[in-house]
Amino acid sequence: MLQILILGASPYALAQPWDTLWHFLAYAALTLVLWIATDGRHPLVITGAVLLFGAAMADFAAAAPATVLTAGALFLLQGASKCAESSPR
């Protein structure tokens, strides 16, 4: 979150498409960190929180795809690993 705030407050402007790319990566990283912190227990809450933060920063265009793609990939990876671990004996 600090990275997004710092990049938004910097005195220089990043040229397109680098600005959007950096914001995309920052929101993807924020989603990943929150996913790890909650052990993936609340995927909808994490996705919603990051999307709301992106909307509050007026950066929804970068936040939405980054958050949805990252959370979707993590959800699929988590589901695949849980299926292998929870198979009946």
For residue range 5-34, list pLDDT tens digits in order. Answer: 666 666 666 667 777 888 898 899 999 999
Is residue 50 a contact partner of residue 23, using CB atoms and an 8 Å limit? no
Is residue 17 a contact partner of residue 33, using CB atoms and an 8 Å limit? no
For residue range 25-60, list pLDDT tens digits in order. Answer: 889 999 999 999 999 999 999 999 999 999 998 888
Domain parsing of the chain, residue ranges? 18-79
Longest dimension (CA), the chain: 60
Integer Cα distance of 54 and 48 in angstroms: 10
